[in-house]
């Protein structure tokens, strides 16, 4: 039996879908046949395309609740439906907690937790009136499940996002399914800024059990699965997409002190 992930006729919104992971997610939905709307504060440098199809861009500041509500009702009016929301927009600079004012950390929480909640509520207002409901996917992070020095507010927000998704899954069932993808490191056009040159990216990738960083399209494939009918009984779940996670530091220390005999 084949795994049919055809989303033809479905409508998906990907926040922050103009570059990086978000663009990879948008392309995966396009390849699956869905109509895709991407939103961000600024338009993409080039349109997001796949298989000869193009995602529609709409400007949106996710921190403006009235604008968010208007955006989702406009999408539903233009396309006749809204089947999936992928809450991808987010991010953070590197800031140690004690070196930055609390207000700046709070803005990180606003972008990575409050904004996805605002978008989800607006999407739910549309989806709950549809006969087949809809699906909301949170883009989480391993930063929400482990200490995140330098990105503590981001990690706290991602932890909250995962818990929020579980509560939404209970409150909004059975009409709307809500799940989280918990991501590890993903290779994007910004990877070199974080990890240096190609050698640095490769070195970082070598710390992952699968030996490399994820590709944005692989994150998109997981989103398409969760949005499809094949995941019809999956809700309130957290799917780890991290290549096996991180090798525990104590193993390297133990190996150094007790090297294997040749």
Cα 53 from Cα 25, distance rounded (Å) = 14
Give the bridge partners for 137, in sequence order: 86, 179
- Name residues whose C-beta falls within 8 Å of residue 20's C-beta, 6 or more positions apart in sequence: 186, 188, 189, 190, 216
Q: Does residue 154 have an active-site annotation?
A: yes
Candidate list 124, 154, 195, 233, residue with the active-site label: 154
Q: Residue 138 has which token pair?
A: 């949170």
Which residues are known to be catalytic?
Answer: 154
């Amino acid at each position: 039996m084949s795994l049919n992930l055809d989303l033809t006729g479905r409508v998906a919104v990907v926040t922050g879908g103009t570059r990086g992971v978000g663009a990879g997610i948008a392309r995966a939905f396009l390849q699956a046949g869905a109509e895709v709307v991407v939103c961000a504060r600024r338009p993409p440098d080039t349109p997001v395309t796949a298989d000869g199809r193009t995602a529609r861009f709409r400007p949106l500041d996710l921190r403006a609740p009235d604008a968010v509500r208007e955006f989702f009702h406009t999408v539903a009016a233009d396309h006749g439906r809204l089947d999936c929301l992928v809450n991808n927009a987010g991010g953070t600079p590197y800031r140690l907690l004690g070196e930055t004012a609390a207000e700046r950390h709070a803005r990180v929480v606003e972008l990575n937790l409050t904004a996805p909640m605002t978008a989800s509520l607006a999407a739910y207002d549309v989806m709950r009136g549809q006969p087949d409901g809809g699906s909301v996917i949170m883009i989480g992070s391993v930063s929400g499940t482990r200490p995140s020095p330098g990105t503590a507010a981001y990690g706290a927000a991602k932890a909250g996002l995962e818990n929020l998704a579980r509560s939404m899954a209970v409150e909004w069932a059975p009409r709307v399914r809500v799940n989280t993808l918990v991501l590890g490191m993903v290779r994007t056009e910004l990877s070199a800024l974080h990890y240096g040159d190609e050698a640095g990216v490769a070195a970082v990738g070598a710390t992952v059990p699968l030996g490399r960083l994820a590709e944005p399209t692989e994150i998109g494939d997981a989103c398409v699965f969760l949005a499809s009918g094949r995941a019809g009984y999956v809700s309130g779940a957290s799917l780890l997409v991290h290549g096996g996670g991180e090798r525990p530091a104590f193993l390297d220390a133990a190996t150094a002190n007790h090297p294997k005999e040749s």
